Chain A
Amino acid sequence: MKPEMTLGLRHAKTADCGDEEDGALSRERWTYVKVNMDGVIVGRKICILDHGGYSSLALQLEDMFGSKSLSGLRLFQPESEFSLLYKDLKENWRTVGDVSWNEFVEHVKRLRISPRNQAFLPAQSPF
């Protein structure tokens, strides 16, 4: 992974592709991150730049995965049964919401929705 592709690239969704070997498609690939929910075979992909903040992200994830649970995801709400985690560029799993949105966008590689009481079992994570 080229270092120059990690910083600021997320905001260059439609950047010029003249100098990059893979062009705009390679840059665009970075804006899409996988989302998996524990216990669900099929993952989804979201474009992180479609959102301006955490609440918008939570809404889309509710739309995608809310039906998997009777009470919905209700991410970031105190009564929620789920935690939203993300894998950063250093391959560490972290809790979504700990840092500013812009910082999150720059570092998120992958997302995971897991039951709250199982949130911190990275050794068992298949992702």
Chain B
Amino acid sequence: MVAIVSSVASDYELDIGNLLIFHGRDPSPLSSSMTEDAEYLEEARVLVQVLADVLFNMPSTLDKVGPPVNLPRPRMQPPREKLLTQSKATNKVGNICQNKSIVKRKRRKPEFDEQNDEWWHRHVYKHVNDDNDIPIIEPKASDVVDAKGEEKQLLQDVLQHGYIKEFP
């Protein structure tokens, strides 16, 4: 902001970027409205003269058409007309997903196997989190066989001897 103190000791506020000059003092009231306009015009003329004084005294280069002058950035910045970042408009599918809390997640080709702490395939035989992949537990002799009939005989054989003695 540049404040110029004129000879009349009233201050002007200048916004050169907007070519604006503001005089914070009220215009002198007049008796008749006929000369009012002329008086205000004269006062405005003085202001514009002050603005011109500043502009023409700014450093300028020589040019055929006229002296070009570099203006500083305007002090008074008006508001923007559009948002700085525009969010993508959600469409029908997007709304459905939002309602169902469906989160878009990028699937990786190998999946992380928590048990073995490694990246392993997701679909093929012996994939990660395979329900069919039951770990083989070696039976102990002290294991109680909870079965009936033939099954019981088979399991008992396995427990005692480690193999099935006789197939049914």
Do A and B share a complex? no
